[in-house]
Every structure is written in structure tokens, then in C-alpha cells.
């Protein structure tokens, strides 16, 4: 029996704090006019560095997606977090999310394919579902790019923002959901968009910090040229793989990097503006989070209806590109969540916190009783003492 991977839930989270173009013009030599005409961005959301992280945004987006799917975190088989700004190089941010959600049966890993990471994640998640290895996969795109942005570099600091978006992929025998994907990479362009230090090539040192190598480095024009080439190409390819003509596609949701890239791709594909979704004006480029955030807003604004054919298409660091053809199958609009389910969810996540706390405490207790290696802890010493 054929299996399909449906988008059964979706959710997003952006930080409260908004940084406008005018705010930026007080930090670097730029202007609202330059940023708007060259990129289409007016403002972006920025995390509170004391209270918010990539995982905290990811958890909120995931909770919202689970709510829409009416799914318990315990039913999730796998969590994929696409990000270039993980909380730590390791452990994976996906594991922090797994713990915070109390997704006790889920495996979890991070995926780094730059801004294409979310669509790469859809490919992996849907393949696991159609191959029968998972029933429910949470795919999250989450970023705190403000944490790796050089706020003195006007070439880059005007472009990026923070946020997270998530979808629940669910197995079904009803046809629909993710119908085709296209993935690509060209590592020869890796140096065009990178975070040079903090890895094995340039481990963190005073020198790397003073040279500003822990910030985003980008050759904007080259990335621009690459993007305007691969976006239409990947869109055409994925439509063909799904067996669709572009006329049958109701909406394209492109990576929200630069309005000029989006408009140029739309022009090459001969698509009218109403069939291309944009929201970068309010969020800037949120890398792997941009497509799931845009997807949530497209649904909320009634731009997607049941049975619609939607294409998600992205490009990013690597260099990478990715596209997914999705047949929307969930009923819309989503029914409001009743109060008792909100309360139940709240209790569930309190329970997840308690579970995590108890597991940490038990692990510490085990070290005290059994010792770091079994046999030299408090219990063993007690036994030796008794046997003497």
C-alpha cells in the first residue's frame, strides 16, 4: 500500500523585538531607502540574547505545529532541525528540542544545508515516511542569525533576522502531501557565504575573534547571481518531477532573501506576482526558517486552500538549492483549539520539563551511588566496608 507524507501541522515563532531599517541606519552607514529598494526588507525580528536561543524559538514553533496536527510529542518518531545557528556545535539543537517537548520516542538530529536546510529536511522526513520508517516527523527551520551578524558590516547586517517555523509530516495512505523534491549542491561556491571560524579549520582563538571570523562573510553579488539561476531551474525541475505544469501550481513560496531575487525568478518563470508569496519585508532573511515561516503566513492569509499545488524553493550556503512540490491536503481554516486542550498542552510541557529534570537528577544520583565507572561509587565502598 502506497504511503504519503502530508503536512499535517505548521507553526512559527519570531522574537518580539523588531529592528527597523531606521534603527539600523543609526548603527551603520545605510538608509531605509537603500535597504528597501535593494532588498525589499523593512524590518526584522531579533532575539533577546539573554532569554532566547535557536532551540527556544524552535520549541515554540514545534509546539504550535503539534497543536495544529493535534498530535502528542510522544507520537513523534523523528525531529530534524535545519539550522546554521545551533545553540551549540553539539549536542544537536534537535536534541534540546526533543527534550523540551518530551518527545520520548523521537530520534533527533540537526541538518546544515544553509538556507535550503528546511526543504532538505522535508526531503529526508518525507522519504522516511514513504519508506515506512516513520509515521510522524517534525521538520523545523530555526535561526538566530543576529548572533553571528557583524553589526558593523553594512553589507550583511541589513539582511538577516531571527525566527523559526515547523511542520509535522504525517503518514497517510491518502494521496497528497510532499509529491517530489529536488536537492542540489555546489561546494565550489562554499566561500561565497560562510562562517569562517569555530570549526576544525580555524578553531576559536583570540586571533579568530579579533579578525571577525565568527561572523557571516558573504560575497553578495555572486550569491545573487547564483540564486537567480538556480531558483527558476529548481522550480521547473520539481514541477516536472511531480508531473505538474507551472500553470497548475497555485503558489510558489520562495526563500525570502531578497525581493529582487524573488521577482527575477518569477519573471523567468512567467509567474504573476499573486502566485508568488513574499513576507521578507517584515522578517528579513531568516535562512532555514524563512520558508516554514512564509508557509505559516500563507496559510493564515488564506493564500493556500485544500488540494492546492504549492512549490517551496530555496538556495543557500554550501552552495545548496532545494525545492519541494506539495499537494495541500489538510482542511482549512484550522479550527480554534478548545481551552481544555490548551490547558492539557501546558500541563504536558510542564511534565516534559519535570521529566527532563528527573532524568538529570537520576543521572547525578547514579554517579554518586555507582561511581563514574561502576564499582567505585558510594554503594561499592559501602559493600567493601561491610565485607571487611
Which entry of 21, 258, 285, 296 is annotated as an active-site residue? 285
Provide the minimum distance between the beta carbon of 140 and ligand UT7 in the complex, in angstroms, as a whole number.
18
Nearer Cβ to ligand UT7 (129/216): 216
CA distance 220 to 154: 12
Provide the minimum distance between the beta carbon of 160 and ligand UT7 in the complex, in angstroms, as a whole number.
8
Task: Give the residue from 132, 315, 105 showing the smallest Cα distance to 222.
Answer: 315
Query: Which residues partner with 127 through β-bridges?
Result: none
Nearer Cβ to ligand UT7 (61/193): 193
Nearer Cβ to ligand UT7 (108/111): 111
Based on the residue annotation, tell me whether 95 is a catalytic residue of this protein: no
Using Cβ positions, the residue closest to ligand UT7 within the complex turns out to be: 220
Contacts of 170 (CB under 8 A, 6+ apart): 5, 6, 8, 9, 69, 71, 129, 135, 136
Provide the minimum distance between the beta carbon of 107 and ligand UT7 in the complex, in angstroms, as a whole number.
28
CA distance 199 to 236: 36
Nearer Cβ to ligand UT7 (59/289): 289
Provide the minimum distance between the beta carbon of 121 and ligand UT7 in the complex, in angstroms, as a whole number.
16
Based on the residue annotation, tell me whether 13 is a catalytic residue of this protein: no
Based on the residue annotation, tell me whether 285 is a catalytic residue of this protein: yes
Which entry of 95, 255, 258, 296 is annotated as an active-site residue? 255
Chain-centroid distance of CA 308 in Å reads 23
CA distance 169 to 65: 10
CA distance 252 to 261: 13
Provide the minimum distance between the beta carbon of 290 and ligand UT7 in the complex, in angstroms, as a whole number.
8
Torsion of CA 319, 249, 67, 131, to 10 degrees: -70
Nearer Cβ to ligand UT7 (73/254): 254
Which entry of 115, 123, 258, 296 is annotated as an active-site residue? 115
Q: List contacts with ligand UT7 (CB under 6 A).
A: 30, 34, 38-39, 115, 154-155, 158, 193, 218, 220-221, 223-224, 227, 257-258, 285, 287, 316
19 touches 27 (CB < 8 A): no
Contacts of 166 (CB under 8 A, 6+ apart): 9, 10, 11, 12, 58, 61, 62, 64, 65, 138, 139, 140, 141, 142, 292
Residues labelled as active-site residues = 115, 255, 285
Amino acid at each position: 500500500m502506497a504511503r504519503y507524507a502530508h503536512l499535517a501541522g505548521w507553526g512559527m515563532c519570531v522574537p518580539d523585538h523588531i529592528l527597523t531599517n531606521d534603527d539600523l541606519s543609526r548603527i551603520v552607514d545605510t538608509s531605509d531607502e537603500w535597504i528597501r529598494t535593494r532588498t525589499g526588507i523593512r524590518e526584522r525580528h531579533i532575539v533577546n540574547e539573554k532569554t532566547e536561543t535557536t532551540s527556544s524559538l524552535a520549541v515554540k514553533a514545534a509546539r504550535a505545529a503539534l497543536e495544529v496536527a493535534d498530535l502528542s510529542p510522544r507520537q513523534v518518531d523523528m525531529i530534524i532541525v535545519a539550522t546554521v545557528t545551533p545553540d551549540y556545535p553539539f549536542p544537536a539543537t534537535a536534541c534540546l528540542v526533543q527534550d523540551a517537548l518530551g518527545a520520548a520516542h523521537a530520534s533527533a538530529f540537526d541538518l546544515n544545508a544553509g538556507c535550503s536546510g528546511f526543504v532538505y529536511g522535508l526531503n529526508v522526513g518525507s522519504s522516511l515516511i514513504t519508506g515506512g520508517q516513520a509515521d510522524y516527523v517534525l521538520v523545523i527551520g530555526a535561526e538566530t542569525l543576529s548572533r553571528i551578524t557583524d553589526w558593523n558590516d553594512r553589507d550583511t547586517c541589513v539582511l538577516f533576522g531571527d525566527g523559526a517555523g515547523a511542520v509535522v509530516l504525517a503518514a497517510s495512505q491518502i494521496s497528497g502531501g510532499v509529491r517530489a523534491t529536488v536537492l542540489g549542491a555546489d561546494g565550489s561556491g562554499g566561500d561565497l557565504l560562510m562562517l569562517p571560524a569555530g570549526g576544525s579549520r580555524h578553531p576559536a582563538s583570540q586571533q579568530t575573534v579579533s579578525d571577525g571570523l565568527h561572523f557571516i562573510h558573504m560575497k553578495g553579488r555572486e550569491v545573487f547571481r547564483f540564486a537567480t539561476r538556480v531558483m527558476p531551474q529548481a522550480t521547473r525541475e520539481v514541477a516536472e518531477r511531480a508531473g505538474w505544469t507551472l500553470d497548475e501550481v497555485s503558489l510558489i513560496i520562495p526563500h525570502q532573501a531578497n525581493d529582487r531575487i524573488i521577482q527575477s525568478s518569477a519573471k523567468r518563470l512567467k509567474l504573476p506576482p499573486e502566485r508568488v508569496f513574499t513576507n521578507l519585508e517584515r522578517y528579513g532573511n531568516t535562512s532555514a526558517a524563512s520558508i516554514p515561516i512564509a508557509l505559516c503566513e500563507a496559510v493564515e492569509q488564506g493564500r493556500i486552500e485544500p488540494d492546492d499545488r504549492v512549490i517551496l524553493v530555496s538556495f543557500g550556503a554550501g552552495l545548496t538549492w532545494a525545492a519541494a512540490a506539495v499537494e495541500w491536503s489538510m482542511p482549512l481554516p484550522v479550527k480554534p483549539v478548545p481551552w481544555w486542550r490548551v490547558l492539557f498542552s501546558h500541563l504536558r510541557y510542564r511534565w516534559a520539563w519535570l521529566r527532563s529534570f528527573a532524568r538529570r537528577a537520576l543521572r547525578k544520583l547514579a554517579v554518586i551511588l555507582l561511581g563514574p565507572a561502576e564499582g567505585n561509587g558510594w554503594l561499592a565502598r559501602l559493600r567493601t566496608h561491610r565485607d571487611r
